[in-house]
Structure 1
Amino acid sequence: MATIANQPRCDVCGNKLVKNGKNSAGRTRWRCKNCGASSTVSRPDITAKTQFTRFYRWATGKHSVSELETPRRTFHRTTAWCWQVQPSLPQTGEQHRYLMLDGTYFNGYCALTAFNGNHIIDWQFCDREKTASWTRMLQRMAPPQIAVIDGNGALESVITGLWPETKIQRCFFHIRQTMVKHLTLNPRTAPGQQLLTLTRALMKVSTKEQANQWTEQFYQWQSMHTVTLKERTYAKDKTESRPSHARPNQTWWYTHINLRRGARLFHSLLKKEQLFQWLDQAMEGEALPRTTSPLEGGINAGIKNQLRLHRGLKPQHSITLVRWHLYQYVQNPQDPWSFVERKHWAEKPSPQPIKEEPMGPALYDKHFSWDDGNGVQKGWGGRR
């Protein structure tokens, strides 16, 4: 037909067509009242929308291809073009009260996400969490009042450089995980047991008064065990067994290195004021987050679950799947079909036949060649 619409026109005379029943395949038959030409109209746009809707439900749902009504090979063939469609986020410039920033790894890639407690604000795909990746994402957003992070060094340096007025709150869950890594759940020394008790008490702090009491208790513990934290072990000779953190030519090292690392963690967080910002910046009746668990345990965990349900994807296809998963948590998301353009689903032009090139000189052809000795022979030619 000349146009794709609900009122198509005749290709012969150009007049409007009217419905004239259906053919044996169940498709609507159209007839021209002027010239009597009859034909059916194909709607590739409606077909493409149906294919994309089926693809979107599969990509964001829990069903595998084998559980769909469409055969596997048919589904992959008809929705192959859908992988080109990518959702995008408009930059509003809105300043948020707080943002949770974190990255999660999948299929050799990393997805950096910004979450305001209710909706995804922005995302960035990269190979790993590094300064360039965080800088590229944070430059697109307005600085929030508070940034809740997990302690990534590159992220903290980028926030300090780009958002100098933003307060940083370290995630309590990651603090506890780091302290358990240093001290284990069953410390052998008394100072280690006391520091683990302080770590568990930190998780129960809920008011400013309790925060001040906890700070005093930590500084008391630090002053009480100053000598223990500074104890050294000297190497007697080069053949002596050394801990993994000691260099080959190092003559001494701290005896309680893990205890010292745990103490330095708390001391650094208190010095940089990154431990109780969720209490200091809170208004009356306001509850600010102190962990990134709503982002990691909700949205990022959903990324891993979706990829687990759709195993075997190519790296680029997995990125597209993660994009659609994150887009579901955007505030006021648009209809996914609005991101589809005609160039995505339009049929590709049929390939032109390739002219065969000669493989080389014709050795045996319809004509004689002087090169192969098959020219007109003269003389006796060996006859007697």
Structure 2
Amino acid sequence: MSVPRNHPRCGVCANKLVKNGQTSAGRTRWRCKHCGASTSQSLTDISRKAEFTSFISWLTSTRARGEFATSTRTFTRGTQWCWNVIPTGEVHDQIMLDGTYFNGWCVLIAHTGKHVIDWQWCDQEKNASWTALIQRIPAPVAAIVDGNGPLTATIKRLWPGTRIQRCHFHIRQAANKHLTRRPNLPANKELLTIYKMLTDVSTLGQAAAWTGEFAGWEAKWEAFLKHRTRAQSGAPRPSYVRPGQDWWYTHLRTRRAWKLLVGLIRDDQLFTWLELGEDKIVIAKTTNALEGGPNKAIKDFLRHHRGLPVDHARRGVDWLLYRQTEAARDPSELVTPAAWAKKPQHRLARPDSGRGETTSLYGTSFSIEDGNGIQKGWGGRSR
């Protein structure tokens, strides 16, 4: 592992500093050519930068902590302050949006298809959480979304001039959900075929032909879609039927698959990528770059670093996303002396053993990070 270069940045304007002689103590003096500020680095600065570089290398890899220090405990103790450093994101124009869940948390991500723009922590995808993310980003030309209701509503409210492209992969998933992969009814079989044909559309002419095929299906099965079932005494009622409801549509799943396409065509969210292509604006028709990029990386990170406390897991995801931004700075440049201050560790108290020599030697509390806690599984017992 290479040692970080002793090349600091200005604490006032963040520009790189240049050497400017030495202090009376013999230390190298650094000066900012942009604002004129002068400073010098101590051994602590260099040591902290090396510690933080090792921390980021471990956090964003699958290597064990013991490979970065003489022991796992030495590495954990020396890099404890690194969790206090918070990364920041960059801003771009055209974006795709999605959220991924883990351990009761959700992280909303804005992505360009190549780089992460920004992200927002929340408990679930809702208007308030999407608003917190979207209001920080300038309105793009187009937004590629998976069909989340609060997300679409927030985009229309905060970015009224932004075109929406619904992800074709999620459209196909919705078709399988409503119609199943092997439908039995002839109407469902034909509608699933139309969904599958959507994958082959690559020009506006083909899009018009596909829309015509769907309109033909609607005309053919118009009466079928209106079939109703009347409530009868003693007969079972579907779970979605309200109490006191006299009738309901017989083929509800077919209607849901049908209405999904009707809404996408009405709102002009199906072929936005082709229409903008006529204006030489290239956008994606799926959120695959986001699903297979940051979302997958987050799942892999949590799998490789099992057992992290919740705040550490979130901070690790922050760094993972920050490293995928387009103009990410060297993480060590974000380190400030305030992060070095060690916060008091909250330890779980245990009852006094009653023996003074034991209490004075081992104390009356323990730390999960020391490997002490509730243990499960085989522990070396012979029977």
* Class of the TM-score when normalised by the shorter of the 2 chains: 0.7 to 0.9
5+ residue gaps, structure 2, are 1-20, 28-41, 345-383
Q: How many angstroms does 1:121 deviate by?
A: 1.3
Match of 1:64 in 2: 64
State whether structure 2 residue 218 is matched by structure 1 residue 222: yes
1:233 to 213, 222, 229: 229
SS in 2 for 1:103: strand
- Check whether the contact 1:173–1:291 (CA below 8 A) recurs between aligned residues: yes
Match of 1:322 in 2: 317
Deviations 1:282-325 (A, max 9, x none): 13665421000001111111111011100111111111101111
5+ residue gaps, structure 1, are 1-6, 10-14, 19-41, 350-384
Percent sequence identity over aligned pairs = 45
The whole-number CA distance in structure 1 between the counterparts of 2:149 and 2:90 is 28
Cα 1:16–1:133 shift into 2, 3 Å: closer
SS in 2 for 1:186: coil
Range with greater deviation from structure 2 (170-179 or 283-292): 283-292
The whole-number CA distance in structure 2 between the counterparts of 1:75 and 1:16 is 32
TM-score, normalised via structure 2 length: 0.77
Match of 1:175 in 2: 171
Range with greater deviation from structure 2 (135-144 or 146-155): 135-144
Q: Which has the higher helix share?
A: 2
The whole-number CA distance in structure 2 between the counterparts of 1:55 and 1:281 is 43
What count of residue pairs does the alignment treat as equivalent?
313
State whether structure 2 residue 266 is matched by structure 1 residue 271: yes
Q: What amino acid is the match of 2:43?
A: R
Match of 1:111 in 2: 107
State whether structure 2 residue 135 is matched by structure 1 residue 139: yes
Match of 2:208 in 1: 212
Q: What amino acid is the match of 1:343?
A: A
- Check whether the contact 1:64–1:310 (CA below 8 A) recurs between aligned residues: no
The whole-number CA distance in structure 2 between the counterparts of 1:8 and 1:207 is 67
Q: How many angstroms does 1:90 deviate by?
A: 5.3
Match of 1:12 in 2: none
Cα 1:244–1:69 shift into 2, 3 Å: same
State whether structure 2 residue 331 is matched by structure 1 residue 344: no
* RMSD (Å), alpha carbons: 2.5
The whole-number CA distance in structure 1 between the counterparts of 2:343 and 2:189 is 69
SS in 2 for 1:247: coil
TM-score, normalised via structure 1 length: 0.76
Match of 2:277 in 1: 282
Q: How many angstroms does 1:107 deviate by?
A: 2.3
- Check whether the contact 2:276–2:282 (CA below 8 A) recurs between aligned residues: no
The whole-number CA distance in structure 1 between the counterparts of 2:76 and 2:287 is 37
The whole-number CA distance in structure 2 between the counterparts of 1:247 and 1:226 is 25
- Check whether the contact 2:90–2:327 (CA below 8 A) recurs between aligned residues: no
Deviations 1:256-289 (A, max 9, x none): 1000100000001001111011111113665421
SS in 1 for 2:48: helix
Match of 1:333 in 2: 328
